[in-house]
Structure 1
Amino acid sequence: MSTDPLTSACASAAPRMLLVVTGAGVSLASGISTFRGTDPGAVWSVDVTELGTISYFHRDPVGSWQWYLRRFGALHDARPNPAHLALAALERWHVGRGGEFLLVTQNVDGLHEQAGTSALVHVHGRADRVRCSSHGCVHGAPKGCLPRDPERDAAFLREPGEATLPRCPACDAPLRQHVLWFDEYYTGHRDYEIERVLKAAKQAAVVLFVGTSFAVGITDLILTRALARNAKVFALDPVARYPHPSVVPVVAAAEERLPALCRALGAA
């Protein structure tokens, strides 16, 4: 087996947990902008920490819906890139030899499931779902959601306003995006599966972060628990990032390095 540390770590992980955590960088090759201010089209080139909040939604639900529908419009034609496909192959390979696997994605684009990943947590929600803004409604937090309705979205975009604002079919409250906003908590909805994520972080033999800038809470929560159990932790990204001295940086593009990893493991 190769002496490459990442390949060796993955090869020796079975039957224990192999945990992968993906951020926006894994979808960049699919044409979806990241959040980094230095990247072309970066979402953080505007103040997403203000727009991506429940506070903003309450102040201006029409503006919130307009911003998100423009953002999510870029997802319609996106397709999985080689990084997504390689991670699905890595799962099949690891599970096939008796290992446990979980992929935790910060992305809402749905590309991991399109690529074939099965053990998957959408820790920041999903772009193909909406939910009622009224807590406790059957279609709202902490358990409910609804499939996104493209016709309803299109009608709103044609004439954005209070009259066309998408509303809950059960209670008529405004619908909202089924995503975790910056002023919300991971415990706010069952679909974020935070307990499953933290349990996997405590069990993992290997944790591989892919395409994340370590700028959101979930990465720190996972990293802290993994390092406490002496897991082998890697950060795969074109930019070398050192969130902790024990994290091994793998400076490469995900769409190139992950297929190479699968080939080295015989998982391609």
Structure 2
Amino acid sequence: MDLAAARQVLQSAAHVAVLTGAGVSAASGIPTFREAQSGHWARFRPEDLASPQAYAHDPDTVWAWYAGRYRDVSAAQPNGGHTWLAELERRKGAGFFLATQNVDGLHARAGSGSLGGRLVELHGNLSQARDEVTGIIHSLPAPADLILPPRSPAGHRMRPHVVWFGEFLPEDALAAAEQAFAEAEVALIIGTSSVVYPAAGLALETLRGGGRVIEINPEATELTPAASLSLRMGAEEGLAALLEGVDELS
């Protein structure tokens, strides 16, 4: 399938599912998980900062790192890739589903999830924390007002609302994503290496259902041989190439 055919099938599709990874936020200056471990944090392994064991051992250090990441993403702005996906949702309405592996919240800030479709943050969100006793999720105050460790309204300590090493994705979010991708006529896989499961398996759900998979990534991935079309571009450039000039997307 070439680019013209990809535009055509996307235009006619009633159900579109999208999976995004770190690449979609690159143009916003958001470092990847491992890139964020620079400077003072370079001496830590990922497991030292993002696992239940690390948090149980040294919650202050873990929270200090996450507070820094929260501050950075709060200062960032959605880029053209986020905007294109919000526009695609506006055109497709209830037939649009976006699952992201990112925890930066930029899709929601661009409007995704509020334009008729659905947004699922598979790995959580840096702007939220979870009561360690009740499990209730709360929004964090602005970075300048954040006191560590944060406490819930009930007075309990809260942990970052993100999925750590050794933890499972939220069952309801994963089930919704699997269903959406199985039903999708077109799946867009954007800015992800397609090696972290179970999210990496979502495209296969679309292929098994007879749908088309369009990948946008600067480098080839494990998904590339199975994709209907692979655009060797960044997320912003690839979405513009795919969606520009399409007068009606539904």
User: Is 1:123–2:153 an aligned residue pair?
Assistant: no
User: Is 1:176–2:143 an aligned residue pair?
Assistant: no
Q: Distance in 1 between matches of 2:109 and 2:248?
A: 18
Per-residue deviation, 1:227: 2.2
Aligned residues: 239
Q: Distance in 2 between matches of 1:227 and 1:43?
A: 36
On the 8 A contact 2:103/2:124 being kept in 1, the answer is yes
Per-residue deviation, 1:50: 4.0
Q: Distance in 2 between matches of 1:234 and 1:7?
A: 10
Residue 242 (structure 2) aligned to one of 261, 264, 267: 261
Letter in 2 for 1:10: L
Q: Distance in 1 between matches of 2:185 and 2:79?
A: 27
Per-residue deviation, 1:153: 5.8
Q: In structure 1, the residue corresponding to 2:27 is in which secondary structure?
A: helix
Q: Which residue of the partner structure matches residue 85 of structure 2? A: 87
Q: Distance in 1 between matches of 2:212 and 2:235?
A: 19
Q: Distance in 1 between matches of 2:125 and 2:51?
A: 16
Percent of residue pairs identical: 33
On the 8 A contact 1:242/1:249 being kept in 2, the answer is no
Please give the TM-score of this superposition, normalised by the length of structure 2. 0.85
On the 8 A contact 2:138/2:152 being kept in 1, the answer is no
Residue 214 (structure 1) aligned to one of 174, 194, 197: 194
Q: Distance in 2 between matches of 1:267 and 1:29?
A: 26
Structure 1 stretches lacking a partner, 5+ long? 157-164
Q: Deviations over 1:29-77 (max 9, x none)?
A: 0010124x6xxx3559753244211121111111110111122221121
Per-residue deviation, 1:264: 2.6
Q: In structure 2, the residue corresponding to 1:74 is in which secondary structure?
A: helix
Q: In structure 2, the residue corresponding to 1:83 is in which secondary structure?
A: helix
CA gap of 1:71–1:257, structure 2 versus 1, over 3 A, is same
Q: Distance in 1 between matches of 2:169 and 2:205?
A: 16
What aligned pairs does 1:40-119 form with structure 2 within 5 A after superposition? 41=35, 43=37, 47-95=45-93, 100-118=95-113, 119=118
Q: Distance in 2 between matches of 1:70 and 1:223?
A: 33
Q: Which residue of the partner structure matches residue 199 of structure 1? A: 179
On the 8 A contact 2:82/2:110 being kept in 1, the answer is yes
Q: Which residue of the partner structure matches residue 168 of structure 2? A: 185
Letter in 1 for 2:27: A
Structure 2 stretches lacking a partner, 5+ long? none
Q: Which residue of the partner structure matches residue 29 of structure 2? A: 31
Q: Deviations over 1:97-129 (max 9, x none)?
A: xx7110111111111111121221111111111
Q: Distance in 1 between matches of 2:198 and 2:77?
A: 25
Letter in 1 for 2:124: G
Q: Which residue of the partner structure matches residue 131 of structure 2? A: 132
On the 8 A contact 1:204/1:231 being kept in 2, the answer is yes
Q: Deviations over 1:210-244 (max 9, x none)?
A: 11112322323312322221221121011122326
Letter in 2 for 1:255: E
Per-residue deviation, 1:93: 1.9
Please give the TM-score of this superposition, normalised by the length of structure 1. 0.80
Q: Distance in 2 between matches of 1:204 and 1:64?
A: 38
On the 8 A contact 1:180/1:186 being kept in 2, the answer is yes
RMSD: 2.4
CA gap of 1:89–1:43, structure 2 versus 1, over 3 A, is farther
Q: Which residue of the partner structure matches residue 159 of structure 1? A: none
Q: In structure 2, the residue corresponding to 1:68 is in which secondary structure?
A: helix
Letter in 2 for 1:203: E
Per-residue deviation, 1:201: 1.5
Letter in 1 for 2:139: P
